Amino acid sequence: MGRRSKQIEDAIKAGARGELFTSYEEELRKKSRQRRENGRSLKIPAANALLKKSGDKWGFDSEKALEDFVYDNLNNLLGLTNLKRQYYLNGEKTDILAIDEDRRLVLLELKNEQDRHIIQQLTRYYASLREEKPFQSRVDFSKPIRLIAIAPSFHKHSLIEREYNQLVFEFWKFEVTQENNHLYFLLENVDTGEVIKEEITAHDKDAYKLSENLPEPPKALQNILGKGTDDAKKRLLEIRERILGFHEQIQEITATGLIRYGRGKTKICAEINVDTGGDFPCASLIDTEPYESLYSSLKRPFLWLYLPIIHMGRPAVGRMRIRTNDWKNIASINYIPPGKKSSRASYNFHNFKQYMELTEATNQSDQLDVLIDIALETWLKRTL
């Protein structure tokens, strides 16, 4: 576990293949990062890349890309022989059908993201396969059908449903990792811990990178940035790239004087707003100006991060207002509960202990980035 990952965990506890995109597809991808006036985002068109890179994390650009890789390497990965992919059963398509060395039929369902309904889906396919019995010349249907699910993670409901289901399901978690200049597909059996490793013949330069395909900042954000210094503007644009580049499902939601990052109204990881200069000094995120300037009429951009906290004795996610003197190292962190406008009185945690201790142990130039990483990881766990 890397130093940054351990810091985040401790804080929470207290290729490419195909042709290049057309300019039209690239424009649609960029527009899909912003929201329409009715609150719906555009559909991201299918990519011709095998991999994508979100922040420091690798993944497959689409479920089809994942299926392509697994199908082409099925024998090396699981010792199986391909029969058919995208096989229709009662109006639904199975991902991959294969056989093992004992001529048992093997059904593989692949998910590029966590899917809490994977048990129900495999059960439906199993019933259809038992009724239809395809590929009888190659499959021995006197033996049980193997049901394999491959996904980056499994929802707790899927684990419960699997435990109390009469059928047997094999759960395999996957991830894409980079070691030196090589990319690898790691497949881990959830029950046995067995790990299978297969190199991916793709390169960093060929992968689709979210951070390199972001839309132009919306007008509302440009207006906010115009109220800060040049250093503040530069840093906020870097923060925006870090947030939007973390995951393709993070959207940029605009409102008057406010930008939210996340999904919908409740799955938010960060906000950028304007400070009127009239609130309690330690509750604002400012530049290198002295504190006295907070009382001026000049409005300034500031940042909120949604971080894990303990509220009323229970784990929660708090909308935290961050103050930094240089947009890098942290001065204080304040929690303002829903419906409150200020961090005064009992809501003012001037030095929010777990995070202040974390940032004090971090290089000053990385302190704000550490908190942003925590907010992003927290958002991911709440959303997917």
Q: How do residues 139-158 score in pLDDT, each as one tens digit?
A: 999 999 999 999 999 999 99
Q: Is 161 exposed, middle or buried (0-12, 13-18, 19+ CB in 10 A)?
A: middle
Higher pLDDT, 302 or 275: 302
User: In terms of DSSP bridges, do strands 258-263 and 251-255 run parallel, antiparallel, or are they unpaired?
Assistant: antiparallel
Q: Model confidence over 174-203: pLDDT tens digits?
A: 999 988 888 899 999 999 999 999 999 876
Positions of CATH 3.40.1350.10 in the chain: 62-206
pLDDT at 262: 93
Close Cβ partners of 92 (under 8 Å, ≥ 6 residues apart): 124, 125, 128
Give me the residues paired with residue 208 across strands.
52
Mean pLDDT on 293-316: 72
Higher pLDDT, 81 or 315: 81
Percent share of the chain, pLDDT over 70: 73
Q: Model confidence over 188-241: pLDDT tens digits?
A: 999 999 999 999 987 666 677 777 778 889 988 998 888 888 888 899 999 998
Coil/strand/helix, residue 290: coil
pLDDT at 248: 78
pLDDT at 66: 93
Query: Token pair of 295, please?
Result: 């009382």
**Packed helices 353-360 and 3-13: angle between N→C axes, nearest 10 degrees:** 160
Comparing 55-59, 79-83, 109-113, 195-199, which segment has the lowest mean pLDDT? 55-59
Higher pLDDT, 14 or 331: 331
Contact criterion met (CB below 8 Å) for 342 and 283: yes
Q: How many residues would you count in the chain?
A: 384
For the chain, the C-alpha Rg in angstroms (whole number) is 24
CATH number attached to the domain at 62-206: 3.40.1350.10
pLDDT at 93: 92
pLDDT at 321: 86
Residue labelled with tokens 């290089």: 363
Q: Which of 118, 112, 108, 122 is nearest to 75 (CA)?
A: 108
| Distance between CA atoms of residues 352 and 172, nearest Å | 39
pLDDT at 237: 92
Mean pLDDT on 94-110: 97
Q: What is the chain's mean pLDDT, rounded?
A: 79
Q: How far is CA 121 from CA 53, 111, 112, 127, 128, in A?
A: 29, 11, 15, 10, 11
Q: How far is CA 62 from the centre of its chain?
A: 14
User: In terms of DSSP bridges, do strands 57-60 and 330-335 run parallel, antiparallel, or are they unpaired?
Assistant: unpaired
Give me the residues paired with residue 333 across strands.
322, 351
| Distance between CA atoms of residues 335 and 355, nearest Å | 12
pTM given for the model: 0.61
